[in-house]
Amino acid sequence: MKLSAVSRGAVVLASTGALVIAASYAGTAVGAAQAPSKCDRLCRVEKRLARNEHNAVAYYTLALNGKNPALAVKLYGGPYYIQHNPLAANGFPAFITFFKSFEARYPDAHITIKRVIAEGDLVVTHSLLTGAKPVYGPRGTKAVDIFRVNSEGKIVEHWDVLAQISATSANGNPEV
């Protein structure tokens, strides 16, 4: 494939004798009706992943920090909820009950999400949980949560891995 620049950023791709004009630098389509460009598809994917990240973070922080799991479910929950944490049952009613019970016992429980990764229909958060001694331990608990979202970006499944923050570190690097 040969790539050459043409006036003001228009790009001409020549491949096996076929000429395809992508678009001008100003973003104006060239020629008759064209299939969506690679950029258009990538932009849609990026927007979908950003939406999924936002929804997973908002769902989790509204339920725990905002003390409102029912609103989190209303805004960000899908038509069903599969739970993989062995301490919680499936379904959004169970999720709400679990968080309300946890909040009653540990009103200072808090999550600080440090990293978020989205790919396909999955969103992964890497977080620090604090304020729920002895459950989270004296230094807190590191958490990796995996949320699966449906095509509308609504939460439909959850996995988690939790471990208390260690007392010492051979490398001096934070765990979260």
**In which band, very low, low, confident or very high, does the pLDDT at 161 lie, cut at 50, 70 and 90?**
very high
Hey, which residues does 117 pair with through a beta bridge? 124
- 11 with 69, same domain: the answer is no
Please tell me whether residue 94 adopts helix, strand or coil conformation: helix
- pLDDT, tens digit, 9 for 90 and up, residues 40-65: 888 999 999 999 999 999 999 999 99
Residue 13 CB-half CA count within 13 A: 8
> CA angle at residue 174 from 169 to 176, to 5 degrees?
130
pLDDT at 38: 72
DSSP for residue 99: H
Supply the range of the domain harboring residue 110: 44-164
Instruction: Write the DSSP string, 57-125.
Output: HHHHHHHHTSS-HHHHHHHHEEEEEEE--TTS-SSHHHHHHHHHHHHHH-TT-EEEEEEEEEETTEEEE
Whether residue 60 is found in the same domain as residue 12: no
- Per DSSP bridges, beta strands 122-130 and 110-119 are antiparallel
What pLDDT, on a 0 to 100 scale, did the predictor assign at position 32? 54
Averaged pLDDT, 153-175:
96
Co-location of 125 and 78 in the same domain: yes
Question: How confident is the model over 98-108, as pLDDT tens digits?
Answer: 999 999 999 99
Domain total in the chain: 2
Same domain, 8 and 70: no
- The yes-or-no verdict on residue 25 having pLDDT over 50 is no
Q: Is residue 170 part of a domain?
A: no
Q: In terms of domains, do 5 and 89 share one?
A: no
> Percentage of the chain with pLDDT > 70?
80
